[in-house]
Amino acid sequence: MATPHNQATKGEIAKTVLMPGDPLRAKFLAETYLENVKQFNTVRNMFGYTGTYKGKEVTVMASGMGMPSIGIYSYELFSQYGVEQIIRIGSAGAYTTDLKLRDVVLADSVWSESNYAKRQNGCEDDVMYPSKELNEKIQKVAEELGKKVILDRVHSSDVFYTEDNVDTYADIYRKHGCTCVDMESFALFHNANVLGKKAACLLTISDSLATGEEASTMERQTSFTDMMEIALNASI
């Protein structure tokens, strides 16, 4: 059963979906790690693939940028394709010098000033939480793989470019305890909570607002492999 945004038919999508924002990161992950890969979606170039990893069926599908985009794709995956859990694998900007480029952050909560949840179902909460069970599994897998993950609160923002009359990254860190920023996880967690599904968010630090460092575009597509391998092994 296709939707306006996803041409997959019933049975082409696994129960677990890994969801990067970047379609080319989805393509890289599928081609690098999965076997018996089948591409099921090209609508709007939001690539989706299903294959096997260590014998277990796994789907990887891009979400695009921002809460409206991941809001559409995750809601459809949960409600129309029978997906039980989504692990977002994205990039984030650091708000503190304690986080270095390529550090992997596992969101233990997400704060946002977005009105996504209020518009979606009237929820006025400004903090969303991941699946405790899924987070614990990700932490266990990371430990078994010898890969470090940092448990932190994430700021999920609707805005990439801001003016000088609003809170800075340092203000948000001080007021809300957010150590890094993405643009999707708040909507993902909200949708999972509304629909009784599981969601988690792994983020690789791609740039730092605190130091000015940043990874290249190609590095963001292909070099964040620790995050990918943790998510893959947590999905089986």
| C-alpha span between 206 and 226 (Å, rounded) | 13
Question: Domain ranges in the chain?
Answer: 16-234
Q: What is the DSSP letter of 52?
A: E
Contact between residue 18 and residue 53 where contact means Cβ atoms under 8 Å apart? no
User: What pLDDT score does 223 carry?
Assistant: 72
Tell me whether residue 207 is one of the annotated catalytic residues. yes
Catalytic residue among 103, 182, 207, 226: 207
Q: What burial letters (b/e) apply to 118-153, b meaning 16+ CB within 10 Å?
A: eeeeeeeeeebbbbeebbebbbebbeeeeeebbebb
Tokens 């277990």 correspond to what residue? 56
User: What pLDDT score does 222 carry?
Assistant: 73
Q: Which of 203, 200, 206 is nearest to 234 (CA)?
A: 200
Q: Which of 16, 13, 12 is nearest to 192 (CA)?
A: 16
User: What pLDDT score does 58 carry?
Assistant: 98
Q: Which residues contact 86 (CB under 8 A, 6 or more apart)?
A: 16, 17, 18, 19, 74, 77, 78, 188, 192, 197, 198, 199, 200
- The tally of CA atoms less than 13 A away on the side-chain side of residue 118 is 8
Q: What is the DSSP letter of 9?
A: P
CA-based torsion, 176, 177, 179, 183: positive or negative: negative
- Strand spans (E) along the chain: 16-19, 35-41, 48-53, 56-61, 85-94, 104-111, 127-128, 150-156, 178-182, 198-208
Q: What is the DSSP letter of 44?
A: G
Please name the fold of domain 16-234.
Rossmann fold (3.40.50)
What integer is the mean pLDDT of 164-178? 97
Instruction: Output the pTM of the full model.
Output: 0.97
Tokens 């041409």 correspond to what residue? 7
- In tens, the pLDDT along 92-141 reads 999 999 999 999 999 999 999 999 999 999 999 999 999 999 999 999 99
Residue 20 has pLDDT above 80, yes or no: yes
- In tens, the pLDDT along 196-225 reads 999 999 999 999 999 999 998 878 777 799
Q: Which of 60, 74, 53, 105 is nearest to 197 (CA)?
A: 74
What integer is the mean pLDDT of 171-196? 98
Contact between residue 90 and residue 182 where contact means Cβ atoms under 8 Å apart? yes
